[in-house]
Structure 1
Amino acid sequence: MNKKLILRHKINENPYGLYNSQLKPMSREETIEFFNEIDLTDEELLSLNDYILEDAGHSFFDNAYMVWNECGEHMNFIDGLRMSETCWNEDTSAEEAESHIITYEAHFEDQSWVATIDRIQLYHDYSDVVFKGRGSAIRAFVGRADELWICMPDQHVCTTLASSDDIFWNGEMLSSLMKNNIDGATLAYGIRCLCEEYFI
């Protein structure tokens, strides 16, 4: 059975729930068409299969969205996966590391709290940062092409963002993807802070 047939079979058995460019879940037909356009090596196919978990489980693909490369072009989904894995595994390529801590205030409804960005490592086209707030520590890769994007492999989230000033939209989207309103707000305000400090 060739790779496309294997992927088609797996999509029929266990849909991935990808999001399209309107941030709406892809239909079964859109998902099949998407995977049929991807030329996977055997190694990539195995890697893809590794992300398929139990029915009640969660995979990288459930909450992911296409990201943009530095030329402002849409990366295909496998390239987005490669990017997040590369970011996760190549810490030694950082051009500069900032050791100081940035403190900022985050809000959700009637709640306010002090959050921090505890580490910033600058790479060619993105920053590796750690956001901390209300007991959570979230490592994220944040960059900008035509749009802002964020990848958080530990949280199984990879998505484009609105303008850094659009706290409401970014907070709502990240809260929905992470199933946590407080973490979503911490990230949304932290991303705005990173942009204001010119780290993105």
Structure 2
Amino acid sequence: MNTFICKYKKKSWPGLISMFKDDGTHYEFMVQSRSSIMVVFGKTSRGYFACMPDFDVGCHLANLNDIFWNTERLTAVLGVVDGVTVAAALQHLYKELGYPEF
């Protein structure tokens, strides 16, 4: 249930959300793929955001279902593979698990 597929051009690889926590004002999860990435995400008055503390990066996001915009933003701060993976994980949470209810 917490597995998903990441796709970039003609390549694809599996991802796994190994931990998910609703902290009330924001959410956090661990995604396992080619890397292991902790993601903190939520919404502010200016829109959605994602932070990856272990990588010392963060960025604004569109709706979590907007894979195109979020991939553009996340790959700019994480690189292609990790950015695509986090964007796919966020879309998976939006579609499959119902998080967050935005």
TM range (shorter): 0.7 to 0.9
Superposition TM-score, scaled by structure 1 size: 0.46
1:103 — aligned with what?
3
Secondary structure of 2:72's aligned partner: helix
1:107-150: CA deviations, max 9, x gaps?
0111011101000111112111001112x000011112452211
Aligned pair 1:119/2:25, yes or no?
Answer: no
Contact 1:103 1:116 in 2 (8 A): yes
Q: How does 1:1-200 map to 2 (within 5 A)?
A: 102-134=2-34, 136-146=35-45, 147-178=47-78, 180-196=79-95, 197-200=97-100
Shift of 1:158: 2.0
Q: For structure 1, list consecutive stretches of 5 or more residues without a partner in the other structure.
A: 1-100
Shift of 1:183: 0.6
Shift of 1:193: 1.1
Q: How many residues align?
A: 98
Q: Kindly report the root-mean-square deviation, in angstroms, between the aligned alpha carbons of the 2 structures.
A: 1.5
Larger relative strand fraction: 2
Superposition TM-score, scaled by structure 2 size: 0.86
Shift of 1:105: 0.9
User: Which AA in structure 2 matches 1:143?
Assistant: G
Q: For structure 2, list consecutive stretches of 5 or more residues without a partner in the other structure.
A: none
How far apart, CA to CA, are the structure 1 residues paired with 2:18 and 2:63? 23
User: Which AA in structure 2 matches 1:137?
Assistant: S
Q: Percent identity?
A: 28
Secondary structure of 2:65's aligned partner: coil
> Per chain length, whose mean CA-contact separation is higher, i.e. which structure has more relative contact order (CA < 8 Å, sep 6+)?
2
How far apart, CA to CA, are the structure 1 residues paired with 2:9 and 2:68? 11
How far apart, CA to CA, are the structure 2 residues paired with 1:113 and 1:193? 14
